[in-house]
C-alpha cells in the first residue's frame, strides 16, 4: 500500500531547507517520465532512468548537476524502483502543501453556490489571515449549485457551513427530530 504522507515526510526530511528548490526540480524531471509509454519499475528500470536523467540534465546545463536536481533524480528513481511512480502527482501536491504549511501558508477550500467575486475572495483571505496568523492563503473555489446559496469553508479539520442548503437541512432536522 502506498502511503503518500510517509514519502512526503521522507522527501522533506532529506531535502531539508532546500525542499522548495528540490520540489521544483522534481516537477520538471517528472514530466518527461510521466509521458513515457509503458509500465516500468524495478532496479534495472531505475538505473536506466537515472542514467538518462543525468545525461539529459548535464547536457542542458553543461556543468555539474546542482544539489536540488541530484536529490530529485534520486527520488524519482527510488519511486520507479519501488513501483510507486504512478502516485507522483498525488505526492507532488502533498509535498507542496507540506512546504507551504511549514512557511505559514494555509490551504482553504470554499464551496459556493455560484462563483464568488474577487472582493469576497480577498476579504475572506484577509479575515482568515487575521484570525489564524497565517502568512498567506491558497484558496480553491469549487462551484456547487446544489448549495442554493452561501458557501462551505474548509481549512484542515475546520468546517463552516454557511450555505442555504445547510441551513434548510438544519431547520428540517430541528423541526422533525428535535
Q: How many CB atoms lie within 10 A of CB 36?
A: 11
Question: Mind listing the pLDDT tens digit of every residue in the chain (178 residues)?
Answer: 789 999 999 999 989 889 999 999 899 888 888 877 666 778 888 888 888 888 877 776 555 566 688 899 999 999 999 989 999 999 999 999 999 988 999 999 999 999 998 899 999 999 999 998 999 999 999 999 999 999 999 998 889 999 999 999 999 999 888 6
For 79, the grid coordinates are: 519511486
Separation CA 156–CA 108 (nearest Å): 8
Q: Where are the domains of the chain?
A: 4-100, 105-177
For 154, the grid coordinates are: 474548509
Amino acid at each position: 500500500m502506498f502511503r503518500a504522507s510517509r514519502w512526503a515526510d521522507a522527501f522533506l526530511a532529506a531535502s531539508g531547507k532546500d525542499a522548495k528548490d528540490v520540489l521544483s526540480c522534481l516537477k520538471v524531471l517528472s514530466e518527461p517520465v510521466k509521458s513515457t509509454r509503458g509500465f516500468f519499475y524495478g532496479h534495472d528500470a531505475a538505473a536506466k532512468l537515472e542514467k538518462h536523467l543525468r545525461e539529459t540534465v548535464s547536457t542542458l546545463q553543461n556543468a555539474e548537476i546542482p544539489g536540488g536536481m541530484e536529490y530529485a533524480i534520486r527520488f524519482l528513481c527510488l519511486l520507479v524502483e519501488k513501483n510507486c511512480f504512478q502516485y507522483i502527482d498525488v505526492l507532488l501536491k502533498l509535498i507542496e502543501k507540506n512546504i507551504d504549511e511549514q512557511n505559514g501558508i494555509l490551504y482553504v477550500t470554499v464551496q459556493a453556490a455560484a462563483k464568488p467575486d474577487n472582493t469576497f475572495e480577498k476579504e475572506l483571505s484577509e479575515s482568515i489571515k487575521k484570525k489564524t496568523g497565517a502568512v498567506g492563503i491558497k484558496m480553491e473555489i469549487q462551484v456547487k449549485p446544489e448549495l442554493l446559496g452561501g458557501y462551505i469553508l474548509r481549512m484542515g479539520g475546520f468546517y463552516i457551513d454557511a450555505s442555504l442548503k445547510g441551513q434548510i437541512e438544519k431547520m428540517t432536522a430541528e423541526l422533525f427530530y428535535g
